[in-house]
Amino acid sequence: MSVQTLLLDFSVDPARVGDESGQKTVFGQLETILKEYVPNLILAADINIDGGSLKLLTGKKGTTVSVRMFDRGLVTVNIEYYKEDTEEPLISFKCCKQLESSVKLSMDCDRLKLMPTIKRGYKYDVYLTSSDERLLEYDIDGVLFDEQSTFQRVQIVHSKSLGNMLVLDDLQNISEADLIYTETLMQRGRESYEGKEIVILGGGDGALLYELLKEKPKFVWMLEIDEMVMRACDTHLRSICGDVLERRKGDNYEIIVEDCMVTVNKFIKENRKVDYIFGDLTDIPISESACGELWEFMITILHASFQILKPTGKFMTHGNGATSRKSLELYEQELEKLKPPVRFTKSKAFVPSFLEDWIFYQISFKSTDNGDA
């Protein structure tokens, strides 16, 4: 069950809706068209408001249509009705396109747009956001896991095109279609992990650990704080994590369930150095300045990580969407402040479940890279 919402807007010459008489004329034309597509439609309220007017109509089975007329020439139409899953839509996709065409032909529009039907109150949340907060609709048809951990809401949903997908606090994290994410993060084919010691900060879905173990490392420590994420992924995302989240420990790896800084600080105290550190924690925050709790956390992680990296080591991490340029620039400015100084390279890959290009960073000590003194 859900409420189906259709959004239509168009622009006309402001002179046509500049006064009450003009708005009445334009509305009359529009009402005639709407009645062809919405059964039993009647005018229930006509309200004059600052800058225009609002018309409220009702129709079959409680359908409501609101027409907002702005004296600057903009007209918006919202059509809402209740629909059970087994019912046919009141206005089919074909009818929506016919409605759009009818309005365009009859209303002498300068511009017109009909949005696809939005499902509100649906049993599955099919709407997530891009890195720069644009609305994305997914073909989600089931929820396999949905629980609140101590740290976040953990969901595994099923997508017709992406397979099972991990969603944390309403943000898509990884799906069965996202091997490219893991391979770009680890720079497969460009970095050699054989015989190397590696620390993964986060990585609760197990995908990075699973792929790294194929490269024959000497040892990998995975530091994940949320037991529930691992439990959910072990059950529903085996195709990307294998059995590593079930076993938790092997000849050349160990998963430690705690705040990653506990182990990092222990390594610092012991003066232990590793070859690679993967930051697989939060994305670079979307903000206008590098301040706030998340930025402080990321900067703390950076400073601590380089204390346990070998001089030839690398810090590998994901950034954010390629369209989030401001936040990426802020992150790079923070990298430039690090002491000892570091250099970095960037990679980009289209991640299917993100529906956008994503930026990844490879960061190393400047003094030991490319022969710098």
Q: Are residues 199 and 310 in the same domain?
A: yes
- pLDDT recorded at residue 369: 47
- Given strand 253-257, what is the order of strands in its sheet? 249-250, 253-257, 219-224, 197-202, 274-280, 309-321, 356-365, 342-351
Determine which helix (DSSP H) or strand (DSSP E) holds 34, and give its type and residue range. Answer: helix 20-37
Catalytic residues, which ones?
280
Query: Which CATH number do you get for residue 58?
Result: 3.30.160.110
Q: Are residues 105 and 161 in the same domain?
A: no
pTM for this one?
0.87
β-bridge mates for residue 49, sequence order? 52
Domain around 42: 2-119
- pLDDT recorded at residue 89: 87
- pLDDT recorded at residue 280: 92
Q: Is residue 48 part of a domain?
A: yes
- Given strand 153-159, what is the order of strands in its sheet? 140-148, 153-159, 163-168, 171-175
- pLDDT recorded at residue 372: 47
Q: Are residues 185 and 326 in the same domain?
A: yes
Q: Are residues 336 and 187 in the same domain?
A: yes
- pLDDT recorded at residue 371: 46
Q: Are residues 162 and 187 in the same domain?
A: no
Taking 70 as the pLDDT cut, the residues of the chain under it are 368-373
- pLDDT recorded at residue 157: 97
Q: Are residues 204 and 257 in the same domain?
A: yes
What tokens appear for 177 in the block? 């279609």
Query: Which CATH number do you get for residue 237?
Result: 3.40.50.150
Q: Is residue 94 part of a domain?
A: yes
